[in-house]
A = this chain, B = another copy of it.
Amino acid sequence: MGEIMPHWLAKQAELKPDEIAIQEGEGRVWTFAQLDKASRQFAFGLLSEGVQAKDKIAILSGNCTDFIIAVHAASYTGAVVVLINTRLSESEIAYQLKDADVSIVLADEENAQVTKEHAWRKELRTLLLTEINKKKKTKLALVEEVDLDTGFTIMYTSGTTGAPKAVMHTYGNHLWSAMGSMLNLGLREDDKWLAVLPMFHIGGLSIYFKSAIYGMPIYMLKKFDEAAVLEAIMKRDVTIMSAVSVMMRRLLDELGNNCVPKSFRCMLLGGGPAPRSLLQASKEREIPIFQSYGMTETSSQIVTLAPGNALKKLGSSGKTLFPAQLKIDKPDAKGEGEIIVKGPMVVNGYYNNDEATSKAFTTDGWLHTGDIGRLDEDGSLYVLDRRKDLIISGGENVYPAEIENVLLNFEGVHEAGVIGIKNAKWGEVPAAFIVSDQVDTNTIKSNCKKYLASYKCPQYIWLVDALPRNASGKLLRNKLSLWAAEKLE
């Protein structure tokens, strides 16, 4: 048994009943008391549907307040929430629902048909988020305390190869993530966090846990729309936002030469290091960018770089949050090796998957991230690439991400994906797929020579309309390898 504390939302309903929990960009405002009441009613609905503690309930929905209510309601019943990426294919969804032993799917109108029409599992029921009988009376009691060692959510890692693995977060993992973030960013009375990332990903969901733990209002947008986001930042007193690089680019275009208000104090950027051009443009517009590194297994960011160091330590993700530790495992002569992390926000393992667990986790709590990195003399982390994507050319380590970042800094290059190609002389050589409105690949090749050592320069550059990505937007390098094989036939 872990530490016991009051149910988070119940506690905020006690401490700050009339303060704002969620401000829908498009609609109503929810106070903590209102959100708590709706979550309790939803929980009674779940209980009357036969949901019991430790049952697995899936949510298959776009961003909406009912999504969050369903999550809090599940915790009031003691059930575990399985968060499904709505962009997945039917067979991928079927796999996850089966693997996680899900009994009920809660879906929005748009996504309900996927699991309703296809009877690949008879005992599985799909209910609309809006149809849970919220008024059915039951004598069953709600769970008013949370045990930090108890499982709360399951998310599948969007593996770019192999079967997805179920990451089970405990209440403690989510709480420690929120604490670590607070110790890093501070917490102010006027804080309001803009949430626009998908709720089925850890980066999106964790914002709502921060709301329930800090007693902080969320400004919620269902989808990313640069105009709506900018309006929130400029006019709605938003102080913090979580984003990924592609959002930042669109936001900077929309912003033009304007600066953001001084009260906007943090743009928490995930999804890989940002290129210099983006950091420079952000600096000029007084957007304080906090680059970060994290993954589903670390319950959101675990390493963060303060804005003051953004350009000084270009490409770095910074240092680990207060409760966390990080080491480079088996570093080579240059200090490069696998990044391993530890801390109370790191999950204990994968659900129903001892093999994957024992492969990734040591007995004393270290997670092997599968990423290659190094630390500078100051202890700041530089993430180099996924270990399995490493290209070894003439005995030199070549990181696709490094080459991609250089390519992305070129005028007219919108997307870039780099892989290794077998080569008789060098073992492997780099090859690049790019999405660009600049059709002259020779110019790009000669530009590469200015910024990259010769063994890092792509030997092949192919223009394509789009890069292959998975449902989470992650580049599928194994697909690029197939494309390259076709090109070279």
By a beta-carbon cutoff of 8 Å, the part of chain A in contact with chain B is 3-6, 11, 14-15, 145, 172, 176, 179, 182-183, 186-189, 213-215, 319, 322-325, 342-344, 365, 379
Complex CA distance for A4 and B14, rounded to whole angstroms: 31
Please give, as numbers and ranges, the residues of chain B lying within 8 Å of A365 by CB-CB distance.
Answer: 4
Output the least CB separation between A21 and chain B (Å).
Answer: 14
Given the contacts A5-B343, A176-B3, A182-B182, A15 and B322 also touching, CB distance less than 8 Å: yes
Please give, as numbers and ranges, the residues of chain B lying within 8 Å of A172 by CB-CB distance.
Answer: 3
DSSP class of A's interface residues: helix, strand, loop or mixed?
mixed
Closest to A5 in B: B323
Please give, as numbers and ranges, the residues of chain B lying within 8 Å of A323 by CB-CB distance.
Answer: 3, 5-6
Contact of A186 with B188 in the complex, beta carbons under 8 Å: yes
Output the least CB separation between A332 and chain B (Å).
Answer: 23
Output the least CB separation between A33 and chain B (Å).
Answer: 12
Residue from A4, A172, A176, A343 with most neighbouring chain B CB atoms (10 Å) = A4
Complex CA distance for A176 and B182, rounded to whole angstroms: 14
Complex CA distance for A214 and B182, rounded to whole angstroms: 9
Known: A5-B323, A183-B187, A186-B188. 10 other contacts (CB 8 A): A3-B323, A4-B342, A4-B365, A15-B319, A15-B322, A182-B187, A183-B213, A186-B187, A186-B189, A187-B187
Complex CA distance for A11 and B343, rounded to whole angstroms: 13
Contact of B187 with A5 in the complex, beta carbons under 8 Å: no
Closest to A6 in B: B325
Output the least CB separation between A102 and chain B (Å).
Answer: 29
Complex CA distance for A11 and B184, rounded to whole angstroms: 12
Closest to A322 in B: B11
Please give, as numbers and ranges, the residues of chain B lying within 8 Å of A188 by CB-CB distance.
Answer: 186, 188
Complex CA distance for A14 and B324, rounded to whole angstroms: 12
